[in-house]
């Protein structure tokens, strides 16, 4: 990219992030009465469901803490982080460390998943919030919770999911991936005590990366071999791309060129396999052998894989300088900005059909909140700034 | 309809059922080795997942038993029923009466839902199979299992689903609806002992039918009042239409004109609310207040609502003789036959996008098997025969 192009992109991401996305959440999401955020927000910000989804409570708390720590100490950002952290700590977590999936606005439990992800976003939130408030006890809380999640992560019977005799033993990419990201968040500069866990996660993630077929599989056998059923053949290109940049961050931090190369490749393969050559955009799911995935939404184009891909390609390009990575970045960014943003009310639509038509008008729902859009815009903006002024 | 039109339709349903749909399942689904059926079948019948989904094991067993009992005593139909019943009775049911959701081909458990539907299709299968084999002990088994399901049906904590403090108490249309259908299947001519249960189900179903807004709600408060969140606003037009003909069967059987009128209306309202005026076909889900439903697949066109609608409209027309019911029947049947059948390999596709393009090439999957298509074709064919030769 020429320096002019870099500047143009930097401005594009900056404007979108600070003028159109963050203001939407600042204006419509805070629940000043109960703490936490309304996350089910219609196109114009109207609350269409007052219930709170805890993945998104944690993620929004993390996002505003991160902006406060990394971009500038705006009181309104800290206020948002305070609201989220208060609700998270007072309402969402049980004495045993399990965190609910959804609650009423005032914090009565609605549903508890037999999964570990509410807990993961709780950890992420508290770690970053601790830095925003300079209160180390929250980081200690986050680290203690990570210890529990680590214990549960590889045996979900511990969070109440039964293991039946006929179920094929499988590893999910999601687990080592989110743990790697969490360690990045909670470790701060103190990597050393986390090194065994980091290496463990990297080894486990590599079980999913099959160089012989240039494919990242969502689910594999415990030894990494392929499982010949729809679960084993499942590809989730956006997820594999996200895993790619999580791994790349560690490759850079640990100074590991072998991992750098693998992380570059997993982003490239997953993009190329997942890109719809006819209508553009990344499919949500695919089957590695070309069968129709059984999930009804497989051919939809979701906001978050595109968010992840923009940043992953930009990160690749910043490392390789290669035209093919730039091409993927530009292709993804063009599609993304042409389809997802809503210039009228701010924030982005989340769901398009295969052809790129918006299918759901809301900006926030049970799985979409203040997270992937601002995180990707912020990461790209930071990276572009670093490319713009490489000597700083 | 003129008698010529009736005959033309009768032939259309007959050919589709006996020449294109049933042969597909006869050829590709039997598992002669383990009993039961392969239900994950690709477009051409190739097994793409050998696991068995028990809803569909029960439904296919019911379907072949029903054809044997109602259409003709073909040995290959009885053989299919035998295969299914053997697998169901020997593998899928636990000592406490809970029935698995999915199993390996040889009957090792893969997953148990915290719901009651596997059990319901088990009951349906055994009741009809008992008639095919003239073995009353299977009907007794089905009736005993219905007793258990009845006990669980209105309190899902009994099947392991926790009830959290903040969860809005709600009744699901699915429950009284499937119980009504099951009673129709197991009671046979012995209705009297079931009358209290039948009246209870009818009362419960009526809680979902809101005449003041001409809408059938999928979930309502225990007293029938509306719940203002996405669950409470959820419409599932195909489901409400199916509930309509279940209720109509009882209205006819009990000779209740009040119920007949309600059942007619719920089919009409749900069709008119659910029909896509722009591209045709019935939406899968809608929100009663016009918000975007949160389910990603809401605007897709699925085979089964169209199957249910064809029969429900034909049944309405046979009772009312009104042009508006005929118009709905013809509109639905034209859309259905133009989009779902696969003349090359037989059976129907299950999933279309909003515009009517096939999104999933398989004929059988975790939720689609040998059931809605042949059941609707058989019901329509029977009804058309009755209209064709009214004096018989």
Q: For residue B157, give how far its alpha carbon lies from the nearest alpha carbon of chain A (Å).
A: 13
User: How far B113 CA sits from the closest chain A CA (Å)?
Assistant: 11
Q: How many residues does chain A have?
A: 392
Query: Taking CB atoms and an 8 Å cutoff, what residues of chain B touch A110?
Result: 164, 166-167
Residue A392 predicted with pLDDT over 70: no
How many residues make up chain B in this entry?
392
Backbone angles phi, psi at A213, to 5 degrees: -120, 10
Spans of chain B below 50 pLDDT: none
- Whether B80 contacts B30, CB under 8 Å: yes
Residue B93 β-bridge partners = B99
Residues A67 and A77 sit within 8 Å (Cβ to Cβ): yes
How far CA A164 is from CA of A230, B89, B110, in Å, comes to 18, 19, 5
Strand partners for A85: none
Tokens of A219: 């689910």
pLDDT in tens, A66-108: 999 999 999 999 999 999 999 999 999 999 999 999 999 999 9
Is B103 in contact with B92 (CB distance < 8 Å)? Answer: yes
Q: What is the CA radius of gyration of chain B?
A: 20
Taking the CA of residue A392 and the nearest CA in chain B, the distance in Å comes to 45
Tokens of A171: 């590893």
CA–CA distance, B128 with A284 (Å, rounded to integer): 41
Quote the CA–CA distance of A364 and A386 in Å, as a whole number. 31
What residues of A are in contact with residue B167 (Cβ under 8 Å)? 109-111
Question: H-helix or E-strand containing A27?
Answer: helix A22-28
- Res A391: pLDDT: 65
Note whether B92 and B112 are within 8 A (CB).
no
DSSP A178-227: HHHHHHHHHHTT--GGGHHHHHHHHHHHHTTEEGGGTEE-SEE-TTS---
pLDDT above 80 (res A363): yes
Other CB atoms within a 10 A radius of the CB of residue B373 amount to: 29
Can you name the residues that pair with A37 across neighbouring β-strands? A30
Q: Is A346 left (phi over 0), alpha (psi -120 to 50) or beta?
A: left
Which three-class secondary structure string do you get for chain B? CCHHHHHHHHHHHHHHHHHHHHHHHHHHCECCCCCCECCEECCCCCEEECCEEHHHHHHHHHHHHHHHHHCCCCHHHHHHHHHHHHHHHHHHECCCCCECCEECCCCCEEECCCCCHHHHHHHHHHHHHHHHHCCHHHHHHHHHHHHHHHHHHCCHHHHCCCCCCCCCCCEECHHHHHHHHHHHHHHCCCCHHHHHHHHHHHHHHHCCEEHHHCEECCEECCCCCCCCCCCCCEECHHHHHHHHHHHHHHHHHHCCHHHHHHHHHHHHHHHHHHECCCCCCECCCEECCCCCCCCCCCCCEEHHHHHHHHHHHHHHHHHHCCHHHHHHHHHHHHHHHHHCECCCCCCECCEECCCCCECCCCCCCCCCCCCHHHHHHHHHHHHHHHHHCCCC
Q: Does A298 touch chain B (CB under 8 A)?
A: yes
* Cβ pair A292:B359 closer than 8 A: yes
Residues of A in contact with B40 (CB under 8 A): 230, 294
**CB of A97 less than 8 A from some CB of B:** no
ipTM score assigned to the predicted complex: 0.96
SS3 A173: coil
Q: How far is B317 from chain A (nearest CA, A)?
A: 33
| Per-residue confidence band for A262, with pLDDT thresholds at 50, 70 and 90 | very high
Residue of A nearest to B48 (CA): A229
Confidence of residue A284 (pLDDT cuts 50, 70, 90): very high
pLDDT at A390: 76
Q: What is the pLDDT of residues A306-321, one digit of tens each?
A: 999 999 999 999 999 9
Query: What's the helix, strand, coil split of chain A in %, to 5?
Result: 55, 10, 35
Average pLDDT over residues A118-139: 98
Element (H, E) at A387: helix A372-388
Instruction: Decide if A49 touches B, using CB distance below 8 A.
Output: yes
- pTM above threshold 0.90: yes
Strand, helix or coil at A135? coil
Mean predicted confidence (pLDDT) in A288-310: 98
What percent of chain B clears pLDDT 90, i.e. is strictly above it? 99
pLDDT at B389: 84
Q: What is the mean pLDDT of chain A?
A: 97
Residue A389: the pLDDT is 84
């Amino acid at each position: 990219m020429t320096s002019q192009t870099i500047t143009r992109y930097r401005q594009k991401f900056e404007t979108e992030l600070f003028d159109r996305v963050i203001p939407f959440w600042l204006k419509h999401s805070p629940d000043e009465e109960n703490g936490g955020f309304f996350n089910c927000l219609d196109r114009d910000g109207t609350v269409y469901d007052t219930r709170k989804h805890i993945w998104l409570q944690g993620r929004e708390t993390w996002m505003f803490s991160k902006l406060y720590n990394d971009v500038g100490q705006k009181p309104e950002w800290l206020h948002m982080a305070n609201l989220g952290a208060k609700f998270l700590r007072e309402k969402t977590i049980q004495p045993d460390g399990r965190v609910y999936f959804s609650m009423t606005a005032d914090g009565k439990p609605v549903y508890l998943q037999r999964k570990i992800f509410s807990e993961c976003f709780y950890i992420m939130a508290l770690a970053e919030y601790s830095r925003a408030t300079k209160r180390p006890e929250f980081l200690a809380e986050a680290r203690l919770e990570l210890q529990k999640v680590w214990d549960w992560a590889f045996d979900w019977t511990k969070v109440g999911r039964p293991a039946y005799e006929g179920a094929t033993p499988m590893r999910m990419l999601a687990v080592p991936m989110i743990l790697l990201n969490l360690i990045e968040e909670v470790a701060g500069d103190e990597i050393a005590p986390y090194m065994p866990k980091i290496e463990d996660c990297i080894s486990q993630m590599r079980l999913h990366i099959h160089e012989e077929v240039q494919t990242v599989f969502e689910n594999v056998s415990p030894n990494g071999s392929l499982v010949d059923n729809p679960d084993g053949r499942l590809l989730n290109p956006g997820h594999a791309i996200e895993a790619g940049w999580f791994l790349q961050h560690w490759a850079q931090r640990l100074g590991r060129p072998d991992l750098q190369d693998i992380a570059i490749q997993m982003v490239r393969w997953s993009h190329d396999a997942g890109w719809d050559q006819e209508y553009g955009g990344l499919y949500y799911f695919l089957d590695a052998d070309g069968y129709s995935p059984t999930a009804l939404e497989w051919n939809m184009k979701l906001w978050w894989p595109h968010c992840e891909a923009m940043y992953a390609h930009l990160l690749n390009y910043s490392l390789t300088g290669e035209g093919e990575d730039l091409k993927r970045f530009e292709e993804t960014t063009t599609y993304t900005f042409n389809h997802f943003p809503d210039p009228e009310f701010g924030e982005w639509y989340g769901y398009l059909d295969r052809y790129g038509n918006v299918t759901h008008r809301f900006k926030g729902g049970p799985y979409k909140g203040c997270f992937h859009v601002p995180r990707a815009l912020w990461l790209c903006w930071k990276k572009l700034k670093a490319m713009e002024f490489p000597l700083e």
